[in-house]
Structure 1
Amino acid sequence: MRFFRTPVPQDSPTRRPLKSHNYEKDESTSPVKRKVKADELGPYKGFNSSITSIFEDSSSARIDCCSISCCGILQYDYNRYVLHHKRPATFKNSFFQHIAVPLTFFASAGYAAVYIPNRAVNQIVCTALLFMSLFWIIGGCLQSTHKRANLRMDILKRLKYGIGFARQRDYSFDEIDVDQTEGNTFCAHRFCGIYPSDFPEEIDESENEKEVKLDFCGKLSRFYSLLCCGKIFSKQIQLCGACALSQEGRELDALVSPEKRRFDYITFQPFVDYFNGIRKLRNENNGKLLDHYAALSKLSRIILKSLAAIFIGLILYVGLLAPRHFHWSNLLVFAATFLQAFFVLYFVHWHWNRLDISLDAVIKYFACGFVLTTTTAIFFELAETVLMQLTALLIMKMSPHIDNAYEYNGFGMGFSVSDFNPHSFYTAAASSSDYKKAFGRKHPIIAGIFIFFSAYFVAALVEEACKYFGFKMVEHPDFMTEEELTKAAEYGVPEGYEDEDRFEFGGGLECISGLDCIDSYDSYDACNNDDERITENKNDKEKDDGLKIDTGGESSHDRKQHDFQMKPVELVDAPPRTLQSIASSVTIAMVSVALGFACCENLIYIFLYNGSSLSLEIAVLVSRSLFPIHPLCAAIQSIGVCKRHIENDKSIGLGRILFPAIMLHGSYDFTIMMLNFVSQLTVNGNGNGNTMLICNILALIFSVSFVFVGVFYYVRKSHQQMARIEELDKSRNFVGAKSVSTNLV
């Protein structure tokens, strides 16, 4: 990859193939340009891929998923760290800014509303405090948008001018011209914005390269982009900057070599800094729990400490405050929900496969399923549910009258507010839920169709896809080849920062990757040109001006400068891994994500939907524990993942990976929901008294049957696959999987 030492003319911006991953300095090769049709052209915005290209490249699935999850916070922190090596604010500062201050305003407003006797003063104070809280929240959002827009501008400068330009002191960073305006960059990261289309003018493509086959998510993304960025409007609707973060992540992924990006999210701890401990355990065949805990990464320890802090906080909450609706018995149910998931993990991982995949990886995958996968699934399920509710409302308005609850308003079928008869309404339904039941009794076929879509598309499709992408979101050294680990070890870790706290929240190195750090806030020297190491000649100003350390919340004048070098790490010898071991690791990782998702979902069902009594909470926990449909479907998904990445069957796409799990999950949900619908009709008087009991018995029979079918399908397919993988291990003339590129994460 070649960088310019002088500014490139405005009419010939630097362009690179986005996914070439050719990190050697080879100037003889140049990508072949294909001619682009006129309708493919659009205003060039400086990037090598369009902002609408999210989920179109399966190799960028991790970046795309992280750009959507948690409003893109993880991906923004990752992009910022890769480009500038700045860590996010400390947890203490984030808690104070985003939680403590707004809650203080709200609490003060509530206190004033209760204890200020003068009505006029009461209203003035309460209104002022509420507005202050609102302005604080809006200001925080604007500040976040400003930071993201500045980072986007820095990436554009890096793409266009390269490393050499950063060392030219005659130019001001604020005066650098890029291919889009500040308005475009801010629009890309607003809560809701309209961004102009930015298809690249030139598309790098080899002569023999065929059209990329899009999976289901890619086709949905392409359909959405055509709707929002078509020939007529040429605009892209932006929500929370997800597409922009993904675009920026793809650019950095192509610019920065992989060994420089081998670190954990949140803590940014390099893989090789802790993976040697895991390799040592495998080499010694050590199965002691304390030794495995000692080999955990900083992120896994933070996860475990956070879980322990939650339990301690609940114990203090129950013991000191004695709330009316949450007692010690409820706390035991809360703990039992986690223990149920840990019990399954004990057998799936620790009892049978503790050395195939590390405890560190299992903790991270479980946490990803519990937090990221669940929140993402809830968001998309909510969006689909709202769409289906609107469709159902439209159909109900167009349907015949139900007990005179509908009236014609002159423009179509709808509810007449002015002529509304409460008596006729309550004869059909006492609430919106009962009204749906009344409609279901009148039109059971239409209700069955909606139940079908709710089971297969709202629940099964969304949840299975989110669990799969939850597995893709986590990058762990357990799934790296020996060659990739060797390169990461040769690149090394920061020298002189071996203490335990260097990877805590909010502190760390400013620049360690050799990548030029064009910082729009404080201009400073580049780390070095063309990825060369810093020389020992500290008196030569042009070669080494020193490197800065950024501690998150510190101001620029508080930053200390340190001389800095990367320290290579020597990998500990470890027994070579077979393909069978890697396949088992894939299954355990995907099951861990599913168990984290199921654990969080169980908590929601137990305490939000059925928290009226302790007996009902226990019944829900037991029933959901006896039918582990989520981990079973994840194990079925792992068969397709192993077939694609380990058996190297490229005909296996996302659809073939998800389809068996969606069919099992959807059929399970559809049967339960349909039987529940029939039983609810009986409650309202359409049937004999035994129908509800019969429906419950049938629901139990079908649940057991579906679980049995799923287990039988997985065991049969898994045994067949392991036999094929064993033949692959025997057919190769090497020991283990040192040269197998699984490309799993």
Structure 2
Amino acid sequence: GERLLLSSEVDNPSEDLPGIGSAQLSFVAEVRRVSRFSRLVLFVSAALFLLCCLAIDAGSIIILTLVFAQPFAYLYFVYWKAHRSDAVLDIVVKMFAIGFWWTTPVTAILESIVQGIVTLFFVMGLSLQEINWLEGGGLGGPGDPATDLDTSDGDRDAEYRGTVRASLGLLLLLCFCLSFLVAASVEETMKHFIVRCCQYTQAPKNQYTILIYMISGALGFATAENIGYVFGYSAKNPFHGTSRFATELIILGLRVLMPVHVICAGIQAINTSKRDLEASIRAHCQSHTNNINVIAGFKEYEAMAHFVSCHRFSWQL
């Protein structure tokens, strides 16, 4: 099928194509040269950001601002300050937007489907009683109402704790498979497609051009993911005794200290720059996806294993 055409020449033919090598222009001048589509993306994103700020408290506004400050700081030092003449700002904006608005939800849907299939095989290794509890009785039918009334939440919790203790090894193996075989593979492949599945009217100038585009897409994906982690986990308050603002700040700090998506984007760019963008997608993906799955998998596995271990420790107390 046709692929996305990233060029100001397509949706803004009245303006000159913002080519590579305009390092003398100011940021405002560069923004004025981007395509109408990129301007629309920037305007809509800014409007949504302001609407979110009106709906949340001051502490969450600070956290949300810091979430976006991280990718902008990366792009400033990696792209604008160091390799401004190697990439087009218009495409950088579009790559970030694709990673943020498109790749993130598509990855979430695809990852959920694959995770469900993999988890099903592990659940089949448990007893029918354990399956009935994990699914709330859904796989075992409605059950006996009288028995259900006599079953307290404390009994169910005790049963679940026993299930987890007895199957801790299986759960850790499940976390390993979901991290390395599912999450890492799906996320890194979809991030690679941000650059791979686009058609360009200008050939990459050098390896830094590909690097900037890869990092831009990865930062867009990571930013959307950070929003989910920060505001999703803070609602559950995993750090007992801390305020919501402190919890959000701690989670964001941990995410900033582990820029896995940026690192993997750099590895992808190194391999992508070794061959033409129009090479076979199967051979192209195979050459580097396996290498970065280890890095991304460790991040996912550490998070899942920490979740299981912490819950087991708290139950023992």
TM range (shorter): 0.7 to 0.9
* Structure 1 counterpart SS, 2:85: coil
Residue 201 of structure 2 corresponds to which residue in structure 1?
Answer: 477
**1:589 corresponds to 2:213:** yes
Cα offset, 1:618, TM superposition: 1.1
Residue 451 of structure 1 corresponds to which residue in structure 2?
Answer: 175
Q: Take 2:283 and 2:112, find their aligned partners in 1: how far apart are those partners? A: 30
Residue 24 of structure 1 corresponds to which residue in structure 2?
Answer: none
Equivalent pair of 2:99/2:217 in contact (CA under 8 Å):
yes
Q: Take 2:273 and 2:282, find their aligned partners in 1: how far apart are those partners? A: 12
Q: Take 2:133 and 2:281, find their aligned partners in 1: how far apart are those partners? A: 56
Cα offset, 1:416, TM superposition: 7.8
The code of the aligned residue for 1:635 comes to G
Residue 67 of structure 2 corresponds to which residue in structure 1?
Answer: 337
Q: Take 1:356 and 1:469, find their aligned partners in 2: how far apart are those partners? A: 21
Residue 622 of structure 1 corresponds to which residue in structure 2?
Answer: 253
Equivalent pair of 1:374/1:597 in contact (CA under 8 Å):
yes
* Structure 2 counterpart SS, 1:643: coil
Which stretches of structure 1, 4 residues or longer, exceed 6 Å deviation after superposition?
648-651
TM-score (norm 2): 0.83
Alpha-carbon distance change, 616 to 277 in structure 1, aligned in 2, over 3 angstroms: same
Residue 362 of structure 1 corresponds to which residue in structure 2?
Answer: 92
**1:269 corresponds to 2:7:** no
User: Which one of 571, 579, 603 corresponds to residue 227 of structure 2?
Assistant: 603
CA deviations 1:498-527 (Å, max 9, x no partner) are xxxxxxxxxxxxxxxxxxxxxxxxxxxxxx
Residue 127 of structure 2 corresponds to which residue in structure 1?
Answer: 397
Equivalent pair of 1:285/1:355 in contact (CA under 8 Å):
yes
Q: Take 1:458 and 1:680, find their aligned partners in 2: how far apart are those partners? A: 23
Equivalent pair of 2:111/2:183 in contact (CA under 8 Å):
yes
CA deviations 1:576-631 (Å, max 9, x no partner) are x4xxxx21111110111110000001111122332351111111111101110011
CA deviations 1:343-402 (Å, max 9, x no partner) are 11111101100010011111110000001110110111121233344444433235xx67
List alignment gaps of at least 5 residues for structure 2.
238-243
* Structure 2 counterpart SS, 1:387: helix
Residue 140 of structure 1 corresponds to which residue in structure 2?
Answer: none
Alpha-carbon distance change, 639 to 295 in structure 1, aligned in 2, over 3 angstroms: same
Residues paired across the two proteins, number: 302
Residue 352 of structure 1 corresponds to which residue in structure 2?
Answer: 82
* Structure 2 counterpart SS, 1:447: helix
Cα offset, 1:649, TM superposition: 10
* Structure 2 counterpart SS, 1:475: strand
CA deviations 1:67-102 (Å, max 9, x no partner) are xxxxxxxxxxxxxxxxxxxxxxxxxxxxxxxxxxxx
Residue 417 of structure 1 corresponds to which residue in structure 2?
Answer: 143
List alignment gaps of at least 5 residues for structure 1.
1-59, 67-261, 319-325, 407-412, 481-576, 687-745
Cα offset, 1:682, TM superposition: 1.1
Equivalent pair of 2:79/2:212 in contact (CA under 8 Å):
yes
**1:668 corresponds to 2:307:** no
User: Which one of 286, 293, 296 corresponds to residue 655 of structure 1?
Assistant: 286
The code of the aligned residue for 1:417 comes to G
Once the two structures are superposed, the pairs formed by residues 185-204 of structure 1 within 5 Å of their partners are none
Residue 313 of structure 1 corresponds to which residue in structure 2?
Answer: 51
Once the two structures are superposed, the pairs formed by residues 171-190 of structure 1 within 5 Å of their partners are none
Alpha-carbon distance change, 677 to 474 in structure 1, aligned in 2, over 3 angstroms: same
* Structure 1 counterpart SS, 2:212: helix
Q: Take 2:6 and 2:164, find their aligned partners in 1: how far apart are those partners? A: 53
Residue 191 of structure 2 corresponds to which residue in structure 1?
Answer: 467
Alpha-carbon distance change, 681 to 290 in structure 1, aligned in 2, over 3 angstroms: same
Cα offset, 1:476, TM superposition: 3.6
Alpha-carbon distance change, 651 to 339 in structure 1, aligned in 2, over 3 angstroms: closer
Residue 27 of structure 2 corresponds to which residue in structure 1?
Answer: 289
**1:302 corresponds to 2:40:** yes
Identity %: 24
Residue 240 of structure 2 corresponds to which residue in structure 1?
Answer: none
**1:380 corresponds to 2:141:** no
Equivalent pair of 1:361/1:478 in contact (CA under 8 Å):
no
Q: Take 1:299 and 1:416, find their aligned partners in 2: how far apart are those partners? A: 53
The code of the aligned residue for 2:276 comes to H
Structure showing the higher helix proportion among its residues: 2
Cα offset, 1:277, TM superposition: 3.8
Cα offset, 1:425, TM superposition: 6.8
Once the two structures are superposed, the pairs formed by residues 166-245 of structure 1 within 5 Å of their partners are none
The code of the aligned residue for 2:113 comes to A
Alpha-carbon distance change, 676 to 334 in structure 1, aligned in 2, over 3 angstroms: same
Q: Take 1:477 and 1:614, find their aligned partners in 2: how far apart are those partners? A: 46
Alpha-carbon distance change, 601 to 440 in structure 1, aligned in 2, over 3 angstroms: same
Q: Take 1:297 and 1:663, find their aligned partners in 2: how far apart are those partners? A: 38
CA deviations 1:442-489 (Å, max 9, x no partner) are 122211221111111231111111101122233343436xxxxxxxxx
* Structure 1 counterpart SS, 2:103: helix
TM-score (norm 1): 0.37
Cα offset, 1:650, TM superposition: 9.8
Cα offset, 1:285, TM superposition: 4.2
Equivalent pair of 1:358/1:478 in contact (CA under 8 Å):
no
* Structure 2 counterpart SS, 1:644: coil
Q: Take 2:280 and 2:58, find their aligned partners in 1: how far apart are those partners? A: 52
Equivalent pair of 1:278/1:295 in contact (CA under 8 Å):
no
The code of the aligned residue for 1:439 comes to T
Q: Take 2:133 and 2:33, find their aligned partners in 1: how far apart are those partners? A: 66
Q: Take 1:451 and 1:359, find their aligned partners in 2: how far apart are those partners? A: 39
Q: Which one has a bigger Cα radius of gyration?
A: 1
Structure with greater contact order relative to length (CA < 8 Å, sep ≥ 6) = 2
The code of the aligned residue for 1:609 comes to Y
Cα offset, 1:653, TM superposition: 2.8
Alpha-carbon distance change, 417 to 391 in structure 1, aligned in 2, over 3 angstroms: farther
**1:278 corresponds to 2:19:** yes
Q: Take 2:143 and 2:280, find their aligned partners in 1: how far apart are those partners? A: 60
* Structure 2 counterpart SS, 1:355: helix
The code of the aligned residue for 1:597 comes to F
CA deviations 1:682-706 (Å, max 9, x no partner) are 11107xxxxxxxxxxxxxxxxxxxx
Q: Take 1:277 and 1:681, find their aligned partners in 2: how far apart are those partners? A: 56
Q: Take 2:71 and 2:133, find their aligned partners in 1: how far apart are those partners? A: 47
Cα offset, 1:288, TM superposition: 1.7
Alpha-carbon distance change, 263 to 605 in structure 1, aligned in 2, over 3 angstroms: closer
CA RMSD of aligned residues (A): 3.2
Residue 101 of structure 2 corresponds to which residue in structure 1?
Answer: 371
Q: Take 1:466 and 1:405, find their aligned partners in 2: how far apart are those partners? A: 34
Cα offset, 1:331, TM superposition: 1.4
Q: Take 1:264 and 1:596, find their aligned partners in 2: how far apart are those partners? A: 19
Cα offset, 1:304, TM superposition: 1.2
